[in-house]
Amino acid sequence: MDRRDFVKIGLAAGAAGSSNRVLAGPASAASKLGTGGILDAGVWEQQQMMEAGKLTSHSLTSQYLARIKTIDKSGPRLNSVIEINPEALRIALDMDRERNLKRVRGPLHGIPVLLKDNIATADRMSTTAGSLALAGVRAARDAHVTAQLRAAGAVIIGKTNLSEWANMRSTHSVSGWSARGGLTLNPYSLDRNCSGSSSGSGAAIAAGLATLAVGTETDGSIVSPASICGLVGIKPTLGLVSRSGIIPIAHSQDTAGPMARSVADAALMLFAMAGVDPRDPVTQEGAGKLADYRAALDKGGLKGARIGVARNFFGQHAERDAVIEKALLDLKSQGAVLVETDVPNVGKYDASETEVLLYEFKADLAAYLKEYAPNAPVSNMAELIIFNQQHAQQELAYFGQEYLERSQAKGGLDTPAYQEALANNRRYARAEGIDKVMKEHQLDALVAPTGGPAWLTDFVNGDHDTGGFSSPAAVAGYPHITVPAGYVHGLPVGLSFVGAAYSEAALIRMAYSYEQATLHRRAPQFPPSVRI
């Protein structure tokens, strides 16, 4: 589908329309359940108001910036936004001028967006992955994802905090903490963790600090914080969204993806982010596979869908499982056919996944620094390790850098051990994993709990989550969507939909149908702790 055709569909009252016409779009779960008014509304509601002349991008951006001051930098002090874009209001004014001239770029025109602080922006903001080693370092050019969002008319209002180096620094890490940004707090219980590594993106969107955010994932870093923060998160197929300009862990698994308060918003953002990038060869595999995700927003999308229930990802948390069992009944009530099954061979790539990440992290980080941060004080993994040792009081105060040291000890990507580990991952996650079970049972998707409810943040013992469903899709490079499914003692848990490569449209259709039938999301109230 041509992007210009999508713009015409998404904004029927846009460039050629009258200024007093109002957009027609899918209802947003966020607008129905949120308590933050326009700040908790979705893309369609905000666009309707702007098209009707009742709201401007400048006003909306101003309100979000004020809310960041109130909620993020004081009050509950979530600490989810690591840096504000000093040009945000100017960009918003530019989008308003374009709208007044009937030049509406698409559904994201004038919509405020936050980017995770490992996504390069060639502006006055830094791109640091939360590390003091890159503090103040401005990227040489935009990441492809950043450029795509700017072209779609999005207003990038700031960067979000994250688990430092996307949680690939220590075996004993605390998710949501970075030396540059500190600790991000969970808006559903301030003493609990947001999970990682897209912690700030999750907390910020849950708290209504922007309309949309971009997260990144290697294994779980979009879907886990989205689930724990009561959001929709989409980890796309590897190759649908460019990796260029994103501070890497591993090119065989890294991808950016949307985090939003509704499936509709996430779908619109995914279309804007995706596309072929000459700097990223894997996106050639996705050429021609970008679908009209708005057309997938079908309330009847579960009717007749064959869904495999991945039972080997149940059993780790009884109360969470009870929530998901109710979700399974909701899927059936919407017409889905449930098939009891397991995802095969999931334990056969646990060790090889880590090996691949360690090899690729060393090589990919050096390549990123050379192209996007040539003036940084570090240029490779070895220099980063030394920097952290020299700044141990700030960088190593709570946990070490074991993964960095193990990565540095690895050889190049021509090492036989690396090639064998990568082949093992692809065999057992793809052909003898997701592909096998879906073919055998003729499935449209697999479902399971995304993960458990948020755990207490613990700087002594580190993270102690209750497991999750992220690894099969992450290692395979296949799409994964999480949707709010309910609560355990007021803490959100999500339901995951996983499918074959480039099945985003089908997954969005099913996820949207489930979301609209249940409407579980509730805005957070920032309690200091869980009341039981």
269: Cβ–Cβ under 8 A, 6 or more apart, which residues?
Answer: 43, 108, 113, 212, 214, 258, 260
Q: What type of residue is 12? A: A
Among 458, 464, 525, smallest CA distance to 492 is for 525
**Quick check: helix, strand or coil at residue 260?**
strand
**Token pair belonging to 83:** 């840096």
Instruction: Report d(CA 256, CA 221) in Å as an integer.
Output: 10
DSSP track, 345-361? TGGGGHHHHHHHHHHHH
DSSP track, 408-471? HTS--TT-HHHHHHHHHHHIIIIIIIIHHHHHHHT-SEEEEE-B-PPPBP-TTT------BS-H
Instruction: Spot the catalytic one: 31, 221, 244, 470.
Output: 221
DSSP conformation class of 139: P
Give residue for tokens 């780790």. Answer: 316
Positive or negative, the CA dihedral 367, 368, 372, 377 is negative
Q: What type of residue is 89? A: L
DSSP track, 104-136? --STTTT-EEEEETTB--SSSS---TT-GGGTT
CA angle 505, 511, 514 (to 5 degrees): 145
116 is known as an active-site residue: yes
Question: What pairs with residue 340 in β-bridges?
Answer: 309
Instruction: Spot the catalytic one: 57, 80, 163, 197.
Output: 197
**Token pair belonging to 519:** 């409407």
Distance of CA 273 to the CA centre of its chain: 12
What is the CB neighbour count within 10 angstroms for residue 137?
19
Q: What type of residue is 349? A: Y
221 is known as an active-site residue: yes
8: Cβ–Cβ under 8 A, 6 or more apart, which residues?
Answer: 14
First to last CA, the chain: 50
Instruction: Report d(CA 214, CA 129) in Å as an integer.
Output: 14
Among 242, 263, 197, smallest CA distance to 504 is for 263
**Quick check: helix, strand or coil at residue 494?**
strand
Instruction: Spot the catalytic one: 28, 116, 163, 410.
Output: 116
Q: What type of residue is 65? A: L
Annotated active-site positions, please? 116, 197, 221
